[in-house]
Structure 1
Amino acid sequence: MQIVVFNLGEEHFAVETEKVQSINDMMEITIVPNAPSYIKGLINLRGNIKSLVDINLLLNANSTGEQQNIIILTVEDEEIGITVDEVEEVLVIDENLIQKMDNEETSPYIKGILNYDNMLLTIIDIDKLLN
Structure 2
Amino acid sequence: MGEDLKFIMFSLGHESYGVDVDHVNTIERMMPITRVPKTPDFVKGVINIRGSVIPVIDLRGRFGLEETEYTEQTRIIIITINDIEVGLIVAEANDVFDINSDLIEPAPELVGGIEAKYLQGIARLDDQRVLVLLNLTEVLNKNEIVQLEEFEVTK
Q: Same fold (TM over 0.5)?
A: yes
Q: Is structure 2 residue 66 aligned with structure 1 residue 56?
A: no
* 1:35-87 alpha-carbon deviations (Å, 9 max, x no partner): 12221110010111000011112223455352521001112101000000100
- After TM superposition, the structure 1 = structure 2 runs for residues 1-131 of structure 1, keeping only pairs within 5 Å, are 1-62=5-66, 64=68, 66-67=70-71, 68-101=74-107, 103=109, 107-117=116-126, 118-131=128-141
Q: What secondary structure sits across from 2:19 in the alignment?
A: strand
CA contact (8 A) 1:23 1:69 kept: yes
Q: Work out the CA distance in 1 between the residues paired with 2:95 and 2:69.
A: 18
TM-score, normalization: structure 1?
A: 0.90
Number of matched residues?
A: 130
Q: Is the 8 A contact 1:109 1:126 kept in 2?
A: yes
Distance in 2 between residues matched to 1:87 and 1:61, nearest whole Å? 18
> TM-score normalised to the size of structure 2?
0.77
More divergent stretch after superposition (58-67 vs 95-104): 58-67
Q: Is the radius of gyration larger for structure 1 or structure 2?
A: 2
Contact in 1 for aligned 2:24/2:79 (Cα 8 Å): yes
Gaps of 5+ in 2: 142-155
